[in-house]
Structure 1
Amino acid sequence: MPKMPKKVAKKYSVSDELKERAYRFALGILELASMLPNTDEGRIIRRQLCKSGTSVGANLEEADGSLTLNDFVYKVDNAFKEAKETRYWLRIVIARKLLKEKVVMPHLGECVELIKILSTIIYKCLK
């Protein structure tokens, strides 16, 4: 009797371009965080910024290859939430004048762009 082919599940994927963009964003956030002052306030914000800023790309890597739409949306939504948290911490850095605004703004701008991209992906998946 011939072997039956295995059922291949559809995989949901994240573009290599977006994964690379999130990776570069994480590296930039780590570099920025290393410039924060070595005070209690600076250390707290550095830790939070590093965690949320690197989680964006990590969640997109997890989403890549998801077998179900629900799993894909869940992981992209996690990346979206981490990007929003990163935006919050970057705004705190500016408001508290922990770094010069001109140093932070490129990272904040990229963060906002990632938030827009991720929200669009989620919206299109849920339509």
Structure 2
Amino acid sequence: MKKDNIIQIKSYNFAIRIVELYKDLNVNKREFILSKQLLRSGTSIGANIEEAIGGQSRKDFYAKLTISYKEARESHYWIRLLKDTNYLSQEQYDSLIFDIEELLKIIGSIQKTIRNS
């Protein structure tokens, strides 16, 4: 992993947090459905970033980045829903929302740069 690729690093670290949250929700709260949805979307962000980085063309890069953005939007939804159904504490929610909104801003900015160049 490149040391200076901030979106790659942040999306990977977010995926780790999501995997840990998924394990916690399954074991301690016996919640399986919503957490599985978040696991899929939250880990997909970084996977699609990786695919974008390895893309064969600019168009391929942009397409995978767009998928990452959509997965981040979906993760944002599941985090809010888990909070509003009392599966996440306010502290967990605040931290996860901060991270996912940061990812959305970064991905959105990269998309905008590509569109405008």
TM-score (norm: length of structure 1): 0.82
Measure, in 2, the Cα distance between the counterparts of 1:65 and 1:91: 32
Question: How many equivalent residue pairs?
Answer: 110
Q: Is the 8 A contact 2:7 2:107 kept in 1?
A: no
Counting only pairs closer than 5 Å after superposition, residues 1-127 of structure 1 correspond to structure 2 as 16-36=5-25, 37-38=29-30, 42-127=31-116
Unpaired runs of at least 5, structure 2: none
Measure, in 2, the Cα distance between the counterparts of 1:55 and 1:86: 10
Offset from partner CA, 1:58-103 (integer Å, 9 cap, x none): 0000000322111110000100000110000000011111121112
TM-score (norm: length of structure 2): 0.88
Aligned amino acid, residue 65 of structure 1: G
Provide the secondary structure at the position in 1 that maps to 2:54.
coil
RMSD: 1.2
Measure, in 2, the Cα distance between the counterparts of 1:46 and 1:114: 19
Aligned amino acid, residue 108 of structure 1: I
Q: Whose helix proportion is higher, 1 or 2?
A: 2
Shift of 1:55: 0.3
Runs of at least 4 residues off by over 4 Å = none
Q: Is the 8 A contact 1:32 1:104 kept in 2?
A: no
Shift of 1:35: 2.2
Shift of 1:43: 0.6
Shift of 1:108: 1.3
Aligned amino acid, residue 93 of structure 2: V
Bigger radius of gyration: 1
Unpaired runs of at least 5, structure 1: 1-14
